Amino acid sequence: MTARRRGEHAGPALNDPNQTDVLVIGAGPTGLTLAVDLARRGIAHRIVERNPVPNHATRAKTIQPRSLEVLDDLGAVGHVLDVGVARIPMRFHEPSGAVVDKPSISVRSGEVFHTPYPDPLWIGQFDVEHALRQRLDELGGRVEFGSEVVGVDQDDEGVSVTLRTAEGDETARARFVVAADGGRSGTRRLVGLPLVGETFEEQRWYLGDVTVRGLDREYMHIWPSERGMLGLTPLGIEGLWQVQSPILPGEEPGTPSLEFYQRLFDERVGPGAVHLTSASWLSVYLVNARLVEDYRSRRVLLAGDAAHVHSAAGGQGMNTGIQDAYNLGWKLASVLAGARTDLLDTYTAERRPVARTVLEMSTEKMTRAVAAAGRGSEDGLGAALAGVGDGNRNSGLGIHYRTGPITYPGGQDSTSAPVAGDRAPNVTGLEGAGFSGDLFDLMRGPHWSLVAFDHTDPVVFDNAKPTHMHVHRIGPGPGSTIVDAEGEFQRIYQPHPGELVLIRTDGYLAARMPAGQELDVINHLAPFRSAGNVVRPY
Ligand SMILES: Cc1cc2nc3c(=O)[nH]c(=O)nc-3n(C[C@H](O)[C@H](O)[C@H](O)COP(=O)(O)OP(=O)(O)OC[C@H]3O[C@@H](n4cnc5c(N)ncnc54)[C@H](O)[C@@H]3O)c2cc1C
C-alpha cells in the first residue's frame, strides 16, 4: 500500500519504500481487518505474513452479528454473506442406530439490538480472510506473503522491524507496529508483554478439514460415544467438513492423519459407517485462557490472538480479533493525523475488559462441552452444545464501552434506549433529499456521525470537515434533513427534542447531550485532541 493518507500530518518520507506509517504483522482475520480499515482511511501501511500462501484451514467456523456489521462498514461483507450459512441443524447418530434431528445450536440475536445481521453465520475462517483480502485488493493494498518478522526495535520516533524473506533480510521502519501475529506471537515476546493465564491440559481436541463420501451437507453430524463424540460440520463450498473430537482426560493423544481419523470413526461408529476421503488440515487443539496485561508497548500494539487466547467454545476468537482491529484502526489514523498518543491507551482500556469476559465465558462453555462430550448418547450432549450457542452473549452486539475513557457519560435516562458507550443500533426507514435508507447507511465509512434530533439551530460540529464528521438533522418534520419516516429513530433512541447523539466512526455512542452541551463533550475529549482542533471529536 503506497497511497498517501489525507491527514494533516506529514507522512513517511516519500521515495523510501522501507518507511511506512503502520506495519501490520500477520495476515489472519485481525491483521487483515486492520489493513482494510487503514487502507480505506488512506493510511500508508504494510501487512506482512510469514506464510508463503494464504491460510487454507477452517479453524474458526462462526462469524458473529457484530463482526458482520464491522465487515459491512468496511465493504467486505458480500462474500461472507454469499458463503456463510445461517442455521445448520444437528443430526445425532445414536449408538443404537437411531437418528435424532435437533435445531441448530446457533441462536438469532434479540430484536432489541436492531441489526441487519441477527444471525451468526457458519463459515470457515479462510473464507472470511478471503473476503478481507479481496477488499484490501480493491483498496489498493496487498499482503506481503513469505515475509517473517524476526526483530523489533523501537525508539521515540518509530519502530525498526527486521523482515526475513526468501531474498534475505530487510529492515523496515514504521511509526507504529501492530502485532496481529497470533497466539504464539513472537512480537509479544520481543516487546516483553507476557501472556498471563492457564493452559487446560485436560481440554484437548482433534480437529481437521476432511472430505467425506455421501454425507448430507444440510446437517452438522454428531456421533455420541462414551469414548468421545465425533462431529462433522459442513463448511465452504468445496465439499469440506471440519472434523472435531475431544481427547478424553487421561488419554494419550494420537498423531492426526486421515488414517487416524478414519480409525476413530471405525472404532466409535462402526467400520465403514463414515468414509473420509481426504484431509487438507490436521491439528490437535489445546485450550488456553490467557490475556496480556497491556495491549500497548509504546509504539507496538497487540491485537487478536496475540493479546488473548481462549477456548473456541462460543465462537469468539476470530470475532474478538476483528473487533480489536476495528477499535484500533481509527485511533491509529487519528494519532497519525495529530491526535495525542494517549488515544492509543483507550484501546487497552476498551478492549481488554471485552477479552476478559470472553475468556471467562468461553472457558465455562468449554468445560461444560468437554464434560458432555464423553456421554454415549444425545441426551445431555445436545443440551450442552446448545448452551454453547447462547445468541445474545455470543453476538458481540451487547459489547459496550460505557465506562471507557472516551465515553461522555450520562445524557439518557431511559432503561431501554442506548446510552453513551453502547453500540449504535440501526434505524430503518429514513428519508432525505436523494437518500432513502438506514442509519447504518449514513454511518458507513471512516467518519464520525452526529445526529441532531428535531434540532434546527447550528451546532459546533457543523464546522467539522466532512471527512471527519457527518451531521444529520433527523426529525419528524420540517427543518430535518432526514425524516424519520417510520418513527423508528424516535422509538429506538427515545431522544429528547433537540438532543445530539455523537456516534464514533466504529459505531459506538460517544455521547448523548442536550443542545448547547457540545463544548462540555469537546472538553471531555480534549485529552486526546491536538491543540486547536476543536471540532474534530477525538
Ligand atoms: C482449531 C481452532 C478452532 C477455532 N474455532 C473458532 C471458532 O469457532 N470461532 C472463533 O471465533 N474462533 C475460533 N478459533 C480461533 C481463531 O482461529 C483465532 O482466534 C483467529 O485465527 C485469530 O486471528 P488472528 O488474526 O488474531 O491470528 P491468526 O489467525 O493466528 O493469524 C496470525 C498470523 O500471523 C502470522 N505470523 C505469525 N508470526 C509471524 C511473524 N513473525 N511474521 C509474520 N507473520 C507472522 C501467522 O502465520 C498467521 O497467519 C479457533 C482456532 C483454532 C486453532
Which pLDDT belongs to residue 143?
A: 98
What is the pLDDT, as a whole number, of residue 390?
Answer: 62
pLDDT at 153 over 80: yes
On the CB side of 194, CA atoms within 13 Å amount to 3
For residue 375, the tally of other CB atoms under 10 A from its CB is 17
Q: Are 341 and 53 in contact (CB under 8 A)?
A: no
Q: 152-161, 312-321, 433-442: which range is least confident on average?
A: 312-321
Residue 63 CA: nearest ligand 1 atom is 11
Query: With left for phi above 0 and alpha for psi between -120 and 50, is residue 252 left, alpha or beta?
Result: beta
Indicate which atom in ligand 1 lies nearest the CA of residue 303. 26
Percentage, residues of the chain above pLDDT 90: 69
- What local confidence, expressed as pLDDT, does residue 1 receive? 40
The pLDDT of residue 216? 95
Q: Which residues contact 153 (CB under 8 A, 6 or more apart)?
A: 159, 160, 161
Highest mean pLDDT among 393-402, 444-453, 525-534: 444-453
C-alpha cell at 456: 434546527
Report residue 132 as a C-alpha cell. 478481507
Residue 165 scores a pLDDT above 90: yes
Task: Determine the pLDDT at residue 111.
Answer: 92
pLDDT on residue 18: 80
Residue closest via CA to ligand 1's atom 41 equals: 149
Q: Can you give the pLDDT at residue 369?
A: 67
Q: 220 forms bridges with which residues in the sheet?
A: 90
- pLDDT for 2 beyond 50: no
Written as one letter, the residue type at 521 is V
- Which atom in ligand 1 lies closest to the alpha carbon of residue 32? 25
Other Cβ atoms less than 10 A from the Cβ of 221: the count is 22
d(CA 434, CA 257): 59
Question: What's residue 386's pLDDT?
Answer: 65
Rg (CA), the chain: 24
Instruction: Tell me the mean pLDDT in the region 393-411.
Output: 90
Separation of CA 170 from chain center: 31
Sign of the Cα pseudo-torsion (206, 210, 214, 215, in order): positive
pLDDT value at position 517? 87
Q: Name the closest-CA residue to atom 3, ligand 1.
A: 59
% of the chain at pLDDT higher than 70: 90
Q: Which residue's C-alpha comes closest to atom 31 of ligand 1?
A: 28
pLDDT value, residue 387 = 62
Contact 36, 24 (CB under 8 A): no
Task: Give residue 46's pLDDT band: very low, low, confident or very high (50, 70, 90).
Answer: very high
Question: Which 3-state string (H, E, C) describes 164-226?
Answer: EECCEEEEEEEEEEEECCCCCCHHHHHCCCCEEEEEEEEEEEEEEEEEECCCCCCCEEEECCC
Q: Please tell me if the CB atom of residue 312 comes closer than 6 angstroms to any atom of ligand 1.
A: yes
* Atom 5 of ligand 1, residue of closest alpha carbon: 60
Taking the CA of residue 283 as reference, the ligand 1 atom at the shortest distance is 1
Q: Is the CB of 285 under 6 A from ligand 1?
A: yes
